[in-house]
Chain A
Amino acid sequence: MKALIEFQQVCKYYYMGDDTVVAADHISFQVFKGEFVAIVGQSGSGKSTCMNIIGCLDVPSEGTYLLDGRDVGQMDKDELAEIRNELLGFIFQQYNLLPKLNLLENVEVPLMYAGVPKRERRERAKIALEMVGLGDKIKHKPNELSGGQQQRVSIARALVGEPAVILADEPTGALDSRTGREVLGILQELHAAGHTVVLITHDNSIAVQAQRIIRLEDGHVLYDGPSDAPEAVVTPRAAGMGGVPS
């Protein structure tokens, strides 16, 4: 079976003056169609770098990233924009809705860049908003909505282009625990409906909602396996990992 997301020895370096920061150090993993994967790690663990690379917002310094079999590292900016539009649906911590547009227009944006005709765009955006339970608010502006509702709009926006991967970056980070659970519930529903979901979080209690966990630390993969295994949620320090004195 062909992997949807495939990291092969992916490295990412950032240059800060004379220093080289290794944000991702030979990371390899695969995500298959229909999986619900959480990439979890503390800040500085490399999870944001992974998220940027998976999301085609950045390209690896070394190694290969294949998205749906296509080598993203070889793409120019326009091709990256195209592949983002075509294969990826983003859900951000801060919702990232465009404040001047109403909900319908917000959800339409990815379709607009995909060149979908206006009438079809309207229809599909409406359906997506109905799916997240906001079909009655399509003319509202984002700031007229609660945080949870706004996040649901951004989920609708992520879904509307029927992407291969839904990439959620700390989707509950700005929400209270109840609405956070609601949003996670939607993600689980999407997974149940056959969508591939990649969830990026620092929070173990959220990561365990996924089916599989990839734990990162210092740019390395520390654990990659089912979320119900005991090692999955154990903090590295407690597990004695990396505990060898230097």
Chain B
Amino acid sequence: MSILESVELALKNIVSSKTRTLLTMLGIIIGVAAVIVIVGLGNGLEGYVAGSFSDMGTNTLTVTVMSRGSTRSLSVDEMYEIVAENSQYLDLCSPTVNMMGYVKIGSETLSSTSSMGVSEDYFGISGDTVAKGRGLQYSDIANRSKVCVIGAFLDQAYFGGNAVGETLRVGGTSLTIVGVLAQSGERLEEGGADDCLYLPYSTASRISGEISSYVVTMRDEDHIDESVDALERALYAVFASDSYYTVTSMAEMLETMTSMINILVGVLAGIAAISLVVGGIGIMNIMLVSVTERTREIGIRKSLGAKERCIMQQFVIEAACTSALGGITGILIGRGLSVLASRVVTRLMGETLTVSPTAAAVGMAFGISVGIGILFGYLPAKNAHVR
């Protein structure tokens, strides 16, 4: 009796007891679907995090300094000097000043807009392009000009696309809008990537106080460690202590985040995998019952010349077919749920998060479910040929 005939026979048996088969498969279906959705969510989350980090550029380093009283501090010029001295590793530099005050346009207060003081090089670092008007210039910084560049969302939502030349207020200071950035997020929305405002860091520090952090780009992403070392050495020379500054690389942060997400996904997928095992036990249970109630059939088949391994093959293949069918159903349901989850998350969070299970995860879930079927089918099948 060939394998193909065994498969045919198994499918016939499965079809002839649909309810039982469905119940048997349920564990596998749920397990496979859960693994796929969880891995897919993890991938989506990872992609989302990676995406938002790469907006910033994975070739950037963030330097945060705390001034050490009046005796030692780091001026913006000193920071520029450090970057210039280490130009074999470092490229562009911009101070960043996070603005505490809210942005006001007319009488309306915008609480979700992120506003930041930056240098003229900042858009080169962040990869933003100016769509209308002009960007920030060195003269703006030198003169502490009361100007700003805004994101496409503010332009569209508050100025009807004609923001250049208008004014708004940040922390009580009136600023003239000189430019509008090109749209960078997928949609224009409140709190999104395009709900932002940039002003010269010199102007910002006058409103908000001290300049305490910088973004620096590296020339080569492969030399993260050397770049960080160079910066830290120079900063140590200024502060004579390593407790007044931190240098963080975006790539490292991304790596940390990614590995955290991976651990989380691993744990969740492990929990989902338990249901696969439970599903397998369900199959074993049903195959045991099936062997018992088919003793007669086994006897008849044997009297007609079935060898023991034919009988065993039949039962193992039946179990494998059941779990494979369950696996396929689980994959389909998992994919369906992934699409659904993408939509729900996108709607709830207002962020685009694509839940996409990897082919490897799908393959593994399927492989495990069939493996479980064969394993848990084998034990009762051994039982079958003893009868």
Contacts and interface: CB of A to CB of B under 8 A. Distances in A.
**Most chain B CB within a 10 A radius of its CB, from A90, A100, A101:** A100
Nearest to B2: A115
B303 A90 contact: yes
Contacts of B307: 77-78, 81-82, 113
Interface residues of A, number: 24
Interface in A59-108: 77-78, 81-82, 84-86, 90, 96-98, 100-101
Contacts of A96: 296, 299-300, 303
Contacts of B306: 81, 113
Nearest to A113: B305
B1 A113 contact: yes
A75 to B, nearest CB: 12
A167 to B, nearest CB: 10
A57 B305 CA distance: 10
Interface string B231-257: 000000000000000000000000000
A77 B303 contact: no
B297 interface: yes
Interface in B290-308: 296-297, 299-308
Counting chain B residues whose Cβ lies within 8 A of the other chain, the interface size class is: 10 to 19
Interface string A192-216: 0000000000000000000000000
B20 interface: no
A127 B302 CA distance: 24
A157 B304 contact: yes
A115 B308 contact: no
Contacts of B296: 96
A82 B300 contact: no
A171 interface: no
B223 interface: no
Contacts of A78: 307-309
Closest 4 CB pairs of A and B: A85-B305, A113-B305, A81-B307, A110-B304
B310 interface: yes
A97 B297 CA distance: 8
A24 to B, nearest CB: 20
B143 interface: no
B13 interface: yes
B305 A81 contact: yes
B5 interface: yes
A201 B303 CA distance: 19
Contacts of B301: 98, 109, 113
A229 interface: no
Interface string B296-326: 1101111111111110000000000000000
A55 interface: yes
B304 A90 contact: yes
Interface in B1-36: 1, 5, 12-13, 16
B176 to A, nearest CB: 85
Interface in A96-152: 96-98, 100-101, 109-110, 112-115, 118
Interface in A32-79: 55, 57, 77-78
A161 B334 CA distance: 49
A77 B301 CA distance: 14
Contacts of B12: 100-101
Contact of B302 (A81, A100, A112): A81
Contacts of A81: 302, 305-308
B92 to A, nearest CB: 74
A97 B301 CA distance: 10
B94 to A, nearest CB: 76
A115 B310 CA distance: 11
Contacts of A77: 307-308
Given A81-B308, A112-B1, A57 B297 contact: no
A101 B305 CA distance: 17
A162 B12 CA distance: 28
Contact of B304 (A84, A100, A115): A84
Contacts of A90: 303-304
A208 to B, nearest CB: 27
Nearest to A118: B5
Contact of A100 (B13, B303, B305, B310): B13
Given A84-B302, A96-B303, 11 more contacts: A57-B303, A81-B305, A82-B305, A84-B305, A90-B304, A96-B299, A110-B305, A113-B301, A114-B305, A115-B1, A118-B5
A192 B185 CA distance: 92
A118 B300 CA distance: 21
A96 B303 CA distance: 10
Nearest to A158: B304
Nearest to B309: A78
21 contacts: A77-B307, A78-B307, A78-B309, A81-B302, A82-B305, A82-B307, A84-B303, A84-B304, A85-B304, A86-B305, A96-B303, A97-B300, A98-B300, A110-B304, A110-B305, A112-B5, A113-B1, A113-B305, A113-B306, A113-B307, A161-B305
Contacts of A115: 1
Contacts of A113: 1, 301, 304-307, 310
A82 B310 CA distance: 12
A156 to B, nearest CB: 13
